[in-house]
Chain A
Amino acid sequence: MTLELLQGSVAITRAALAADCKFFAGYPMSPFTPLLEAMSREMADASGVCINAESEIEGANMALGASAAGFRAATGSCGQGIALMQETIAEAALNETPLVVFNMARNQQDYYQCTRGGGWGDYRTITLAPKDITEAVEHTQLLFHLADKHRAPVILYGDDLLAKTLVGVDVAPLDLPELPAKDWALDGSASGTGSSRQVWTFAMGKKNDPGPGPDGQWRRVAAKFAEIEQVEARHETVHAEDAETLVVAFGSAAKFAEYVVEELREEGHRVGLFRPITLWPFPGAALAEATRGVERVLVFELNAGQMIDDVRQWAHDRDTIRFIGGVSIDESGLAFGPLLDAPVIRERILAEHAEHAEPAAAVPTARS
């Protein structure tokens, strides 16, 4: 493995190109901008197209068009810009067009936006939240695969750290299963044959070949997302098996929480971490299992409490849940504030943990 020193946005761009992404359109917005710039620089050499769109709405629809034509396509922004794209994301879900959306978010306040969505209709968006750039490189490739596999919009939940940090990284192509050819994609070849294709949310089909119509189509799409919920949930646990206190965190916050958990373990505290890798589908069954033997569940997220709704829904005992996160934004309003720091997280975990538990003798540690 050869590591190359790359900015996170460049690493993610290279990962997208490794996944055969051929189209990107976006509108500058911090901290998404470096990803757009990297795509703009690197896409031409990969015989792809990158358009500096005139609005998020246009960018998302351009990507939808490119994808409907059968090519891997993506767009991106951060919270406010993704808000403008919600109509298109819902449309892609309901007319079943694959679409990868990079949310290089300013903080963790977009959890609801990613997992509940702001569009209309019965749809969901698979959302992967990498904890660092190495994982973001894998997730980017996986997302293009999942978007095609399920013919659905998917989201990478990034942030300022993932967009801008320079790290040594190896953008190795992931070995993913081959997917069926996109026989639904529009290339014009079926025009005039009597069996021309149609991509349409209402799915009424052609006069000579009626489709399922809105009722049939939207039932089918809803059933598809119910199935995805069963098979695509991903999570990671650290020292969870014998933990008295289990911290739940995602994305960069989980990376910091993991560091603190390791530190506390070395000091003999029975503390563990549960990290949802997919925010939707939320790894609920795994969380229920992981929280079975714990005395308290501490939710650390950099917002006023959004993921905690999912934790409450799935934790073994709701009465054990405490919120130790909070809104924390830097002075610019564009990146994380002082709460994303190991000493602060450590203090908040210990405030709950030490109140009830005495430091135990050091126990062998294992990661699952």
Chain B
Amino acid sequence: MATTDITIDTRTAPPPPASKAAAGAPSLILGEHSLCPGCGEPVALRLLLETLQDLDVVHRSIGVVGHGCYGSFVRIMDVDVLQCLHGRAPSCATGIKRMRPDSVVFTLQGDGDMVNEGLQEILHSAARGENITCILLNNGVFGDTGGQQTATTVLGQRTKTSLEGRNAEQHGYPIPIADMVASLQGSGYVARGAVSTPAAVAKTKRMIKRAVQSQLDGNGLSLVEILTMCPTGWFVPAAEGADYQGSSMEPVYPIGELKSPEPQTQEAVHA
């Protein structure tokens, strides 16, 4: 049930590109999102929902969503969903998954949600080996409240609470949460992706698929950290989000798989 398969019909004229893209939207999306132009989060949502369809697990999927801009996704995702308290999604997901082990349980959290308020919840849930999939939308800033510093804000990044740029002396260092989770025995699959280029989108989708498959295989907690553009919170023009991310965030948060049940070659990840 892949939604991205495109059959090329040479007998008729191809449809205009825009209509092809529109028709490709996963049917689990109930309507338009309300986030800013250039935001990376809707792309990540789309990849997640497509994956549930690709793996044919939609009718047993339950989402647990934290607090941030992506919180509004609970209105447009056709998935049973618990909108939980800030930071607590992995704990709520633990309760759901333990009671319904046959379901596919995922969390959707931002960096403020997972790495600031909910650092304890994600680490303990990973250490317990909870068989859930956590999706971190990391833009290094509190987008929903207008651009303040989070625990993943990179050094030098300007935010409304670090106007001259984050400096280690005053604000400390960013937390590489994916590395921390990967270091715990209870995690089964950990990867860091991005949605800033078509290649990154394709690669990140494969990561999400492997993360959910890891849950289906019972390998413990899986985490996909996705770097998501936030031009509004970064105070750059919408079209420059991807470049800013590439130059400021990716050197600190390198893209790739950090932990996998069966280590893949680079070719397999890029395949």
Contact = CB atoms under 8 A, between A and B. Distances in A.
Contacts of A187: 60, 62, 80, 100, 103
Contact of A63 (B53, B82, B95): B95
A200 B83 contact: yes
B99 A193 contact: no
A232 interface: no
Interface residues of B, number: 40
A236 interface: no
Contact of A61 (B78, B95, B128): B95
B96 A186 contact: yes
Contacts of A253: none
Interface stretch (B37-45, B86-94, B207-215): B86-94
A61 B91 contact: yes
A216 to B, nearest CB: 15
Tell me which of A71, A87, A199, A201 has the highest count of chain B C-beta atoms within 10 A of its own C-beta.
Answer: A199
A188 B103 contact: yes
Interface stretch (A160-168, A204-212, A255-263, A334-342): A204-212
Tell me which of A68, A186, A197, A200 has the highest count of chain B C-beta atoms within 10 A of its own C-beta.
Answer: A186
Contacts of B62: 69, 186-188, 191
A239 interface: no
B83 A65 contact: no
Interface string A54-80: 110111011111111111010000000
Contacts of B82: 65, 68, 186, 198-200
B83 A23 contact: no
Interface in B60-95: 60-62, 64, 74-85, 88, 91-95
A199 B65 CA distance: 10
Contact of A51 (B52, B93, B94): B94
Nearest to B125: A58
A40 interface: no
A21 to B, nearest CB: 12
B83 A68 contact: no
B94 A199 contact: no
B45 to A, nearest CB: 13
Interface string A83-122: 0000110010001000000000000000000000000000
A25 interface: yes
B120 interface: yes
Interface string A11-44: 0000000000011010000000000000000000
Nearest to A66: B95
Tell me which of B58, B83, B93 has the highest count of chain A C-beta atoms within 10 A of its own C-beta.
Answer: B83
Contact of A201 (B61, B64, B83, B120): B83
Nearest to A54: B124
A66 B121 CA distance: 16
Tell me which of B79, B92, B124 has the highest count of chain A C-beta atoms within 10 A of its own C-beta.
Answer: B92
Contacts of B30: 194, 206-208
B27 interface: yes
B85 A87 contact: yes
A264 interface: no
A101 to B, nearest CB: 14
B120 A58 contact: yes
Contact of B100 (A53, A88, A188): A188
A87 B58 CA distance: 31
Contacts of B20: none
Given A192-B28, A208-B31, A68 B78 contact: no
Contacts of A51: 94, 98, 128
Interface in B95-136: 95-96, 98-100, 103-104, 120-121, 124, 128
24 contacts: A22-B99, A51-B128, A59-B91, A65-B64, A69-B62, A69-B99, A69-B100, A88-B85, A88-B88, A95-B83, A186-B96, A188-B80, A188-B100, A188-B103, A188-B104, A192-B28, A192-B61, A196-B77, A198-B82, A200-B74, A200-B81, A200-B83, A204-B74, A206-B76
Interface of B: 27-28, 30-31, 52-53, 58-62, 64, 74-85, 88, 91-96, 98-100, 103-104, 120-121, 124, 128
Q: Which 5 A-B pairs have the closest CB atoms?
A: A65-B95, A65-B92, A66-B95, A61-B91, A207-B31
